[in-house]
Amino acid sequence: MSKAQEKNAEEGILQYLTKQNRPYSAIDVYNNLHKVYGKTVVVKVLESLAQEGKIREKLNGKQKAYVVDQSQFPDVPESEMKFMEKKITDLSEKLKTAQANLRQHQTELKGLTSSMSTEEARIQLGVINNQCNACKAKIAAFEAGGKRVTPEEREKVMKMREKYVSAWKKRRRMANDILDTILESYPKPKKALYEDVGIETDEEYNVKIPSK
């Protein structure tokens, strides 16, 4: 880096620290100045300014912080300090209120952007209406020419179903009891017995006994 570039970096960094008048680490200065100067340049300039007495170097644990020499600033009257503290408090409260309003507006905006637009709602309504009309047409066709099942016929079918399901459960239970008895003295696993005898299970065909 040339002498002119180094001088320019010194002036820029010193001007920034003077304007902000608060301690910063080298990384803070590097980032806050939007990386205009290289990280190595920032560290070198800060150390140089500290050696010249233009800024003060403070060690905070393992990290160094730099701040301008406060002796160059005039003493601030107590009344002005209190005024500034009150102003800071007022501004902090305004900031909290503004942040709360921002969060509320962001939530409202998110809700609005995630909702359907009027045009999208119209299209969706049209799709649903078409589906309803198709269902109505099917119902009308069944009512006009389809054969209806009377309550008596339905009851008869349900009783037959109950009878067959009951028989299914009974025979399944009997078969399992017989197989369990055989397995007590069978030298092979259950799967081998099923294969040897040629037994097909409900599970093999993904068949389940109706619960009702």
| CA 195 – CA 204 distance, rounded (Å) | 12
User: What residue ranges do the domains of the chain occupy?
Assistant: 3-72, 74-115, 118-148, 151-205
Q: Report pLDDT for 212.
A: 63
Q: Report pLDDT for 138.
A: 84
Q: Report pLDDT for 77.
A: 82
| CA 170 – CA 64 distance, rounded (Å) | 85
Q: What are 18-45's pLDDT values in tens digits?
A: 999 899 999 999 999 999 999 999 999 9
Q: Quick one: which H or E segment has residue 63?
A: strand 63-68
The answer to whether domain 3-72 has CATH 2.30.30.60 is: no
Q: Which residues of the chain have pLDDT under 50?
A: none
Burial pattern 57-75, b for ≥16 Cβ within 10 A else e, equals: eeeeeeebbbbbeeeeeee
Q: Report pLDDT for 43.
A: 93
